[in-house]
Structure 1
Amino acid sequence: MSSNRAVAYQGPGRVEVIDTEYPTFELKDGPGVNPANVGRKVPHGVIVRTVTTNICGSDQHMVRGRTTAPLGLVLGHEITGEVVEVGPDVEFIRVGDIVSVPFNISCGRCRMCKEGKTGICLNVNPDRPGSAYGYVDMGGWVGGQAEYVLVPYADWNLLKFPDRDQALEKIMDLTMLSDILPTGFHGAVTAGVGVGSTVYVAGAGPVGLAAAASAQLLGAAVVIVGDMNEERLAQARSFGCETVNVGEGDPADQIEQLLGVREVDCGIDAVGFEARGHGHGEAAAEAPATVLNSLMDLTVAGGAIGIPGLYVTGDPGAVDAAAQRGSLSLSLGTGWAKSLSFTTGQCPVMKYNRQLMMAILHDRIQIAKAVNATAISLDKAPEAYAAFDAGAATKFVLDPNGYVNA
């Protein structure tokens, strides 16, 4: 039996690389595993040797202690791998395939999957629609920041790369297909971005940068990225975005200086539930509704707001009792009066990942450069989590089995 090592959450601010079980084609009990899933057979699954697995801002929310994630939870939902074992019910995926693993786990059989809404599959999480690897309240599927991971419904879920050598050559771009590139693209699409659009992206973390690069791919005339972190804003400028520092106050004032008007055609929230107010000092304290309310003000009447930023129903570290339940003070009247559209929830990765793969393979987007992707060993994961939490303008890519270095 092969060994396995993985990154696990060990309490607020703490992750460790641990020895853990090699995956099998049956779900076992463990931290975060839904009791109803224990013993579930996975003959339709494969085991992949991880090629790359990325640290995501959503992981960081858990590591900060801002969710109800249990101690010992193996983290990681951004996975690219090489298939090393296939279950008896797998028909089309083969050992040796290099594959992208969508972060949403879906069955391909339920009503939602058949409608293309793979982020809210009805059959993979006994508690609620939707599931993901290594994430709190998402059914307890073991995370992918590990040397090996189990992927269920493999024929349905996996995106096989057409050429192994080409895939490994472009792996730092292709690794973004599991989550942040489709998620950012989904934010741009649902915000209505098209040729000639003016776009404001709130948040210059990796998802915000991916949304900005996606808006450019979709033909936006101007993409403006807002954040308080000057290093991250510089990263946005590195591929042609305009920027505003919301630490200096209301972004509308700065947008007016750039565009001549205080509104944009399309708004994207890539911040989520740990948003802060605009300005300095006390004004920049945590205020989770700030970004959404700001986007309603900034987006033109009849426009749309894409919300790839994460919002949760359980946040023990929130600023008040309402926010701890995910209840925020939104100016919905503003949204109603302006006839704005909103799209929230997990990105249905499979809706976009093949098209985005082709854009990468044919050099239409350089997403690794846009998000400043940096490959590190599995053992350096704790350091990377700390650096990311401190605001590093870097997308950390873990290389558990030495594929990137090779």
Structure 2
Amino acid sequence: MASNRGIAYLEPGKTEVQDIPYPEFELKDGPGVNPDNVGRPVPHGAILKVVTTNICGSDQHMVRGRTTAPQDLILGHEITGEVIETGPGVEFIKEGDICSVPFNIACGRCRNCKERATGICLNVNPDRPGSAYGYVDMGGWVGGQAEYVLVPYADWNLLKFPDRDQALAKIMGLTMLSDIFPTGFHGAVSAGTEVGSTVYVAGAGPVGLAAAASAQLLGAAVVIVGDLNEERLAQARSFGCETVDVSKGPVPDQLEQILGLPEVDCGVDAVGFEARGHGEQASTEQPAAVLNSLMDVTRAGGGLGIPGLYVTGDPGAATDAAKEGSLSIRLGLGWAKSHYFVTGQCPVMKYHRGLMQAILHDKVDIATAVNATKVSLDEAPQAYQDFDSGVAKKYVIDPHGMVS
């Protein structure tokens, strides 16, 4: 049997490369695996040789110790790979196919999947609707920051690229289809972005940059990105965004300097529960700060897309309420302005084929927008530390040296 290696979470601030079991067509017991999933047969699955797998800000929440992730959990839900073996129940996906793997694990059979809500599949996670690879409380499906990974329901989940050589040539963009590009796009779409919109994206991390690029793709007139990190703001400006430094004064005032108005049509929260305050409070963690700011600056009748992660368990939170995801949100303000909110996991399959076409036909350069940066599997623990320091890079792990 072939060997396998993967990136494991050890303790807050620390990951390491470990020897891990080679995938089989059965979910085995291990760190984070729900007992009801142990022994689950996967005849509908495929084993992939990982071509690329990315470090995500959601991974970073776990590595910082801000979730209940167990020691030795194998990380990684952003996966692109080559099919090297299929189970007896796989009919259409073939060995040799290069495919994008949506981070949502979905069965394709339940009510939610049939209604395109693949982020809340009812059948893959005994804990709650919705599942993902290598993530806490998501059923225990082994993560893909590894050399090889098992993908269940392969015919349903895998997006096959039409041409192998073309896919490998554009892999640094296509690797973003597993999560952050559809997630950013979902944030922009669900906020109501359309031709001529003014859009404010809170957060200049990779998801925020992907949301900004998505807003441009959707025809926004002006895209403004807010953050505390000047390096990340510079990255947003590099592809035509306006920016505001939220530590340097009220966001409405800065928007008015750009637009002539202190508000925008659409707001996107690409930060989530580790948000910090604005202005003089920028050094203090305030998990509701971004949501409240977005309600303040989004016009009456506008929408808020919220792809930023919020959790039900945060042991590192400053208050007991925040530890269970209870935040001091100014819902009255949102109600008074007739805002609508769209939250939750992005249903990747709703968007990824169209975004694949945009990449393949050079309608968007998402790899450049998020500053995609290749590292080896052995370099990944250091990349986690660098990413946590705030560098304006999206780290792409290349376990087999397949990225030119």
Q: Which residue of 2 aligns with 1:360?
A: 359
Give the deviation of 1:283 after TM superposition: 4.4
Aligned to 1:84: 84
Matched, 1:305 2:304: yes
Partner of 1:351: 350
**1:189-231 deviations in whole A, cap 9, x for unaligned?**
0000000000000000000000000000000000000000000
Give the Cα–Cα distance (whole angstroms) in 1 for the partners of residues 202 and 396 of structure 2: 23
RMSD across aligned positions (CA) = 0.5
Q: CA deviation at 1:319?
A: 1.1
Contact 2:80 2:100 in 1 (8 A): yes
Indicate the residue corresponding to 1:329 in structure 2.
Answer: 328
- Which residue identity is paired with 1:31? P
Report the CA distance shift for 1:209/1:115 in structure 2 as closer, same or farther (over 3 A): same
Deviation >4 Å, runs of 4+: none
Letter in 1 for 2:334: G
Write the distance in 2 (CA, Å) between the matches of 1:383 and 1:256: 40
In structure 1, what residue type is equivalent to 2:141? W
Q: After superposition, what is the alpha-carbon deviation per residue over 1:86-108, rounded to whole angstroms, capped at 9, x for unaligned? A: 00000000000000000000000
Which amino acid is the alignment partner of residue 306 of structure 2? I
What is the alpha-carbon distance in structure 1 between the residues aligned to residue 249 and residue 312 of structure 2? 29
Cα deviation, residue 249, structure 1: 2.2
**Deviation string, structure 1 residues 335-362 (Cα, Å, up to 9, x no partner):** 0000000000000000000000000000
CA distance in 1, matches of 2:253, 2:7: 43
TM-score under structure 1 length normalisation = 0.99
Unaligned runs of 5+ in 1: none
1: distance between equivalents of 2:391 and 2:6? Answer: 23
- Partner residue, 1:296: 295
What does 1:2-401 align with in structure 2 at a 5 Å threshold? Answer: 2-280=2-280, 282-401=281-400
More moved, 255-264 vs 282-291:
282-291
How many residues are aligned here? 404
Write the distance in 1 (CA, Å) between the matches of 2:185 and 2:352: 10
Cα pair 2:246 2:282 within 8 Å, conserved: no
Q: For the structure 1 residues 5 and 284, does the alpha-carbon distance in structure 2 shift closer, same or farther, using more than 3 Å as the test?
A: same
Q: In the alignment, residue 158 of structure 1 is paired with which amino acid?
A: L
Q: Supply the distance in 2 between the matched residues of 1:25 and 1:318 (Cα, whole angstroms).
A: 38
Percent of aligned positions that are identical: 78
Distance in 1 separating the partners of 2:161 and 2:52: 14
Aligned counterparts of 1:247 and 1:102: Cα–Cα separation in 2: 35
Q: Distance in 2 between matches of 1:283 and 1:103?
A: 32
Q: Measure how far apart 1:247 and its partner are.
A: 1.1
SS at match of 2:27: coil
Q: 1:283 to 1:91 in 2, by over 3 A?
A: closer
Offset at residue 128 of structure 1 (A): 0.3
Return the alpha-carbon distance in structure 1 between the equivalents of residues 378 and 353 of structure 2. 31
Give unmatched runs, 5+ long, in structure 2: none
Q: Distance in 2 between matches of 1:279 and 1:378?
A: 39
